Structure 1
Amino acid sequence: MTTQIDRAQSLARLHAAPEILRLVNVWDAVSAKTIAALPETRAIATAGHSIAASYGYGDGQIPLDLMLDMVGRIVEAVGDLPVTADLDAGHGDPGETVRRAIGKGVVGANVEDRLQPLADSVAAVEAIVAAGEAEGVPFVLNARTDAFVRAGGRPLDDSIADAIERGRAYLAAGADLVFVPGILDADVTRRLVEGIGERKVSVIGLPGALTPREYEELGVARISYGPVPQRVALTALQDVAADLYADGVIPASTRALN
């Protein structure tokens, strides 16, 4: 049985490896077990949007206690695999939120800046790093900047420059990676990696994005998929329901994964 420190160190090594870390996000114990059962799975990432939706909340609106309860259930469900959690913007107190997440067995997290003033965002990163140190866990912070998703129509070059400035500041404050969500083409990705650092950029896989291998070749460390896996699952559920209403049958290929 691995320790929490072992799992944190394992997650850090996965980010530093030449191969891109592929994380298919989960939202409850059974989705976590389903992904953990695949031999290719090296770590587990939760999707805050998906957990919130499971409880009937909008993205970022779920109470922290409820979010952490589910995150803890996911940790318990996947055994020795390291779990990195989506903790939104830190629920008002990033350091305390991470301290509580560590108490649930989490070893890494995404925390977003929502384009708050840079000094405030850096202070949040510092609080998270300090929380990990106080708990004795080498916590892996994937510091998210919303330089693209909250760009508000500004020129692309301005968003790239903002992401690089913020990314460098977060790394200097102790973050391990910089998460830049958005549909990033090869040129934008190359500029981000050059500005932030090789194996220091984390991206999201959305329709229209590059493949994991293409991001890997550009020096990206990690790709995750946010709420999209839940959307795929819900699409399949709605489609099979429509087929059943139309006098169809359950497909013979269905596997008993629950």
Structure 2
Amino acid sequence: MKLSLSVRIAEAACKTKLNIPFSEITAIAADLGYSALCMRASVAGVHSSQEELEQVRSIVDQAGLVVSMVTADLNIPQNNDQAPDALKNIEPSLHVAEVLGSRMVRICLKTEADIVHAQRAADQAAERGMQLVHQFHPACLFEEVERSVAVLKQIDRPNVGLIYEPASLLMCGQEYGEATLRQILPWLMNVYVQNLVITDDGPDHLETWCLGDRPFQLLSYWDASGRGIDFQKVVDGLQAVGYDSFFTVHQAEGIVTADDARAYAVQCKEWVDSLCS
């Protein structure tokens, strides 16, 4: 698998900007041996000028990295009612990905009516040799495994697939191990990882359509309490199905200094290496 670092680690709570310069995150990822960066609209997106996009691409190229995936629209990480609108006009998102050198664009579907827009967007993406991918995520059509597979079959496009994200599956009461990976294998295109535990006393809450309000607590990836995601099961499952694409450190940390970002990225890489050894 190819290790990717999401710019989300240093994203502000508003999800529209970074707390530290993008160039510093890029240098850290390159220095530590990451293969890629996962790009979000907090750095560059459909709102960015051509000059800004090209500047970001230059920083990535000079560091010897690639962009694993692009989330080009600020509404998509917010998972709001406007998030599916990008499907109605996918060309700007495809352009962002093309300039940044990525073949993968994250999308969002919230209603059955979004399926036809996803089909049209997929056809446009295919013309550029690009993939559209949807994360397992609460409060959208991709909460539950069976429903997600059914939607993918309805879309029926080979360049539309899934971002496997075990924490979201756990949030929605779904199994996330090898059996699930085998079920979604025809559509498996990317992997995100976060760690959390469902707990009655919060402190955070997220609304799901399938199970209602879910109080949870974020945990470090290397938490030894046994309360969160079993990441050895995750990695063993990925290896069992032959997954060899990007594995993205995706957890929001709100990091505000380059030193903290480096220390965190070091710990993450050591943790992934220990799982894969």
Task: Encode CA deviations 1:62-105: one digit per residue, 9 max, x unaligned.
Answer: x8314977654332112153322112346534422233214523
Aligned equivalent of 2:46? 64
Distance 1:67 1:90 in 2: 22
Aligned equivalent of 2:13? none
Structure 1 position 139 matched with structure 2 position 130: yes
Structure 1 position 112 matched with structure 2 position 102: no
The answer on whether the counterparts of 2:46 and 2:96 sit within 8 Å (CA) in structure 1 is no
**SS of structure 2 residue aligned to 1:98:** helix
Q: How does 1:35-114 map to 2 (within 5 A)?
A: 35-39=29-33, 41-48=34-41, 50-51=42-43, 64-66=46-48, 72-79=54-61, 81-83=65-67, 84-87=69-72, 88=76, 89=83, 92=86, 93-114=88-109
Q: How does 1:1-258 map to 2 (within 5 A)?
A: 20-26=1-7, 28-39=22-33, 41-48=34-41, 50-51=42-43, 64-66=46-48, 72-79=54-61, 81-83=65-67, 84-87=69-72, 88=76, 89=83, 92=86, 93-117=88-112, 120-131=114-125, 133=127, 137-141=128-132, 143-146=133-136, 148-150=137-139, 159-170=144-155, 172-175=156-159, 177-183=161-167, 184=169, 187-197=175-185, 200-207=188-195, 208-209=228-229, 210-211=231-232, 213-219=235-241, 220=243, 221-226=245-250, 228=252, 231=253, 233-234=255-256
**SS of structure 1 residue aligned to 2:191:** strand
Letter in 2 for 1:139: M
Higher strand residue share: 2
Q: Quote how far apart the aligned CAs of 1:34 are.
A: 2.0
RMSD: 3.9
- Percent of aligned positions with the same letter in both sequences? 13
TM-score relative to the length of structure 2? 0.54
Letter in 2 for 1:149: P
Q: Quote how far apart the aligned CAs of 1:165 are.
A: 1.5
Q: 1:71 to 1:35 in 2, by over 3 A?
A: farther
TM-score relative to the length of structure 1? 0.58
**SS of structure 2 residue aligned to 1:74:** helix
Distance 1:37 1:237 in 2: 13
Q: 1:25 to 1:71 in 2, by over 3 A?
A: farther
Unaligned runs of 5+ in 1: 1-19, 53-62, 239-258
Higher helix residue share: 1
